[in-house]
Structure 1
Amino acid sequence: MIGAVQLGVLAACVVLFVPMGMAGWHLSRNKMLFFSGALFITLAVGVHLSPYFPSISHFLMSPSGTVVLGDGRGSCLSLLHDVVWDVKPARLKRPVSYADGYMNGSSKSSAYDRELSWSWARLNSVLECDFQKLRSSDASDLLNGSWVVVAGDSQARLIVLSLLDLVLDSDQMESVRGDLFKRHSDYRIMISGIGLKLDFIWAPYVSNLTDLMLRFRQNVNFPDVLIMGSGLWHMLHVSNASDYGVSLQMLSSSLVSALPFSRELGNDGPVTGSAPIRSQHLFWLGMPNLINSMLNTEEKREKMNDLAFYSYNMELHKSRILRQAGGHFLLLDIHSLTQSCGPQCTEDGMHYDGAVYNAAVQIVLNALLIESNQKL
């Protein structure tokens, strides 16, 4: 492929030498001038219109004629959610309350005798990325000395539970569960053995996330890994997708001023050669697949339907906070994970089995490995 400079030189040669060649074939001066003028105008119009066609602009601006993400980086990030599930038939072992299941990282499904496992799809493109389920020691090494912040609603809390369950032993986890699942409260823990600081911020609305970004800016301190997302509470209690979109736009504006870096993004990350100057990693926690018939209140079944989910999801993508739309957050696609797992993985149509959130944590960890150009 040829770059922008080479393309410009080639165009100049065409404009200069083609008319001269035509003159050599004894064409009339009027015909030669007409052809030369038409060729020049065509090239000029093409250059001016190219910014309005992204594929042309990327072709012109990329050093190699196209957007290149080093070492298959972009393509592997896009394949992280290619997960397949193996769910065995379940039978009820004992009666259980919703709170019991919720504190165990899922809904009431934790009381079911089922084998739920997952793996990355056995496709050649996925296998080439060499994704791995990190063990506790590997995850601890990767997160050593890091500050991780997870902000959002109950889905975010379940992500925290899965992450802690990976890096802590069973005795430590017993002491964690009660404090972590105090309703509508923040939670902080310092794991001194690996120097990991983990904060959960209860932030059910996008406005709460915006306030959090402002606090980061005021304190001139930003976490190494930020996982945040919101939408379920707004869908249930406000039920206005347009208002949700406005909130996301405000969050996007606060994000630009709060982040301690500036970079040019491609579809799945920085364009090669843009030299990002930061170590922060940002993930947007998407909403789960909502199974309307299984939701546990009439209000939820009325307001949290497929149309509402579609409208809210559209506002998310229109807000341009996701990398796919030119923003900063890599989407942690909980909807894809929960939809592929299906109704057998949830008892309330909203909170899913702990294996779903374990998979999400492994996706985050593999994304960190890819973005930091590390391998185990």
Structure 2
Amino acid sequence: MGVTLQAVFLASCVVFGPMAMAGYHLTRNRVLFFSGSLFILLAVSVHVFPFFHTPYFNSSTLPEEQASAQVTPTAFLNVTLRDYCISNIHKVEFSEIDKPQLDEQISNQTDWDHFEWRWQHEALHQCKYQKLDREDALELLQGTWIVIAGDSQARLLFVALMELILPSIEDLRPYLFKRHSNFEYNLESHHILMEFAWAPYTTNLTRMAKGYRQDQKRPDIIVSGVGLWHMLHSGNYTQYGKSLVKLKQELGFLLNDPISATSEEALTVQLFWMNLPTLAPSLYQSDLKRERMTTQQSQLYTMEVLRSEIAGTGGLTTLLDIQTLSHECGTRCTRDGIHYSQAVYRAALHIIINNLLITTKQTPIP
């Protein structure tokens, strides 16, 4: 009996000690959920109190080949595996949904939305990437302030976020697609604030970042990306590159300003950059677009993103590679040569989430 009581006491210290310490941080910035409470909840629900709620990333819902090849909770401490999983996280493939499934599953969703996505088998087998359902997403993002800012590509990513978080967005759809407008939704039950900011130019994003710094507030996750409007209405890619450098500088101030936040808080802000989609000029309905939004021009704009080091290897932000995803889906996934099936943006959203899990050294499967 003495041994049993001693074991229980030690287990309580191991489990609840970190929970008490994490609680202080979580009350200040819930994005730390990615690096703290998720692991604690998994440990408690799986190893200590099995009568708690179903554990996050429950292996019983996985395909048999994944469930039989689980990794340990410290798997992503292995730098080689972590780097492999980060570099392969965009390895996604798309397929058309057959007609019976289409009628049943997505009859009320986004137009031309008859595609589904999945990670390629080898990358999935090695890294155990996960598709979240609504319950998982609510648990993971609880207490988080998420801002998605940019042009119509960013708006479609925001729609994917709303689709994941809410039971239905049909009543909200007219507002989500209202031309050139912002949109904000506060899910009070889980304290999740989601904002879309219409910001089609780099200068819009720069002012937004400066405003956060001046107001001494920071979203937990900022996803941004522009370029299409600049390409269409200006076409001066070197000017675009210079504006990216200014934006990068302002985002750096936002991350590291000692006046508005401690260094520990600043490091919790997660930044992602959406690059341009793969363009299909043959599908354009506008002569101006055919003239200015060429494949060659798109490559020049992409080079400016890399040159500015705002994203990519060693960049300030994590690259959300819409170009690769849209290329993989192909012209069958787009009607206008610019905007793609919602499956592309749903895949991008899950890439963000899995990227956060990996970079914070969390394994998705307990």
TM-score normalised by structure 2 residue count: 0.71
Name the residue aligned to 2:282: 293
CA distance in 2, matches of 1:140, 1:235: 37
Letter in structure 2 aligned against 1:336? T
Indicate yes or no: 2:253 matched with 1:257.
yes
**Structure 1 SS opposite 2:170:** helix
**Structure 1 SS opposite 2:185:** strand
Letter in structure 2 aligned against 1:280? V
Name the residue aligned to 1:348: 336
Indicate yes or no: 2:325 matched with 1:337.
yes
CA distance in 1, matches of 2:148, 2:269: 13
Indicate yes or no: 2:163 matched with 1:174.
no
Among 186, 191, 208, the residue aligned to 1:190: 186
CA distance in 2, matches of 1:89, 1:231: 35
Q: How does 1:1-80 map to 2 (within 5 A)?
A: 70=79, 72-80=81-89
Instruction: Using the TM superposition, give the Cα deviation of residue 70 of structure 1 relative to its aligned residue in structure 2, in angstroms.
Output: 3.7
**Structure 2 SS opposite 1:109:** coil
CA distance in 2, matches of 1:306, 1:359: 24
CA distance in 2, matches of 1:360, 1:248: 22
Q: How does 1:156-175 map to 2 (within 5 A)?
A: 156-170=154-168, 173-175=169-171
8 A Cα contact 1:214 1:258, kept in partner? yes
Instruction: Using the TM superposition, give the Cα deviation of residue 194 of structure 1 relative to its aligned residue in structure 2, in angstroms.
Output: 1.3
CA distance in 2, matches of 1:277, 1:158: 28
Instruction: Using the TM superposition, give the Cα deviation of residue 286 of structure 1 relative to its aligned residue in structure 2, in angstroms.
Output: 1.2
Larger radius of gyration: 1
Name the residue aligned to 1:46: none
Q: Give the 3 Å change call, closer, same or farther, for CA 199–320 of structure 1 in structure 2.
A: same
Q: How does 1:115-134 map to 2 (within 5 A)?
A: 116-123=115-122, 125-134=123-132
Letter in structure 1 aligned against 2:310? I
Q: Give the 3 Å change call, closer, same or farther, for CA 89–300 of structure 1 in structure 2.
A: farther
CA distance in 1, matches of 2:298, 2:98: 29
Instruction: Using the TM superposition, give the Cα deviation of residue 118 of structure 1 relative to its aligned residue in structure 2, in angstroms.
Output: 1.6
**Structure 1 SS opposite 2:223:** strand
Q: Which segments of 5 or more consecutive residues in structure 2 lack a partner in the other structure? A: 1-76, 259-263
**Structure 2 SS opposite 1:184:** coil
8 A Cα contact 2:213 2:257, kept in partner? no
Cα deviations by residue, 1:257-307 (Å, 9 ceiling, x for unpaired): 121379xxxxxxxxxxxx996211111011111100101211111100011
Name the residue aligned to 2:222: 226
CA distance in 2, matches of 1:189, 1:296: 33
Q: How does 1:251-330 map to 2 (within 5 A)?
A: 251-260=247-256, 278-324=267-313, 326-330=314-318
CA distance in 1, matches of 2:349, 2:251: 23
8 A Cα contact 1:225 1:281, kept in partner? yes
Shift >6 Å, 4+ stretches: none
Name the residue aligned to 2:95: 86
8 A Cα contact 2:274 2:319, kept in partner? yes
**Structure 2 SS opposite 1:199:** strand
CA distance in 2, matches of 1:230, 1:69: 34
CA distance in 2, matches of 1:69, 1:304: 42
Name the residue aligned to 1:18: none
Q: Which segments of 5 or more consecutive residues in structure 1 lack a partner in the other structure? A: 1-67, 94-100, 263-274
**Structure 2 SS opposite 1:228:** strand
**Structure 2 SS opposite 1:182:** coil
CA distance in 1, matches of 2:238, 2:109: 35
Name the residue aligned to 1:155: 153
Instruction: Using the TM superposition, give the Cα deviation of residue 327 of structure 1 relative to its aligned residue in structure 2, in angstroms.
Output: 2.1
RMSD over aligned CA atoms reads: 2.5
Instruction: Using the TM superposition, give the Cα deviation of residue 180 of structure 1 relative to its aligned residue in structure 2, in angstroms.
Output: 1.6
Asked which structure has the greater RCO (Cα within 8 Å, sep 6+), the reply is: 2
Name the residue aligned to 2:34: none
**Structure 2 SS opposite 1:349:** coil
Q: State the identity %.
A: 39
- What is the number of residues matched between the two proteins? 278
Indicate yes or no: 2:97 matched with 1:109.
no
8 A Cα contact 2:219 2:269, kept in partner? yes
8 A Cα contact 1:79 1:126, kept in partner? no
8 A Cα contact 2:185 2:193, kept in partner? yes
8 A Cα contact 1:261 1:278, kept in partner? no
CA distance in 2, matches of 1:78, 1:348: 30
Q: Give the 3 Å change call, closer, same or farther, for CA 293–89 of structure 1 in structure 2.
A: farther
Q: Give the 3 Å change call, closer, same or farther, for CA 246–69 of structure 1 in structure 2.
A: farther
**Structure 1 SS opposite 2:87:** helix
**Structure 2 SS opposite 1:174:** coil
8 A Cα contact 2:333 2:341, kept in partner? yes
8 A Cα contact 1:322 1:330, kept in partner? yes
8 A Cα contact 2:144 2:220, kept in partner? yes
Among 210, 233, 236, the residue aligned to 2:232: 236
Cα deviations by residue, 1:46-103 (Å, 9 ceiling, x for unpaired): xxxxxxxxxxxxxxxxxxxxxx97473232111110011223688xx9xxxxxxx9x9
CA distance in 2, matches of 1:306, 1:355: 23
CA distance in 1, matches of 2:207, 2:244: 12
Q: Give the 3 Å change call, closer, same or farther, for CA 84–192 of structure 1 in structure 2.
A: same
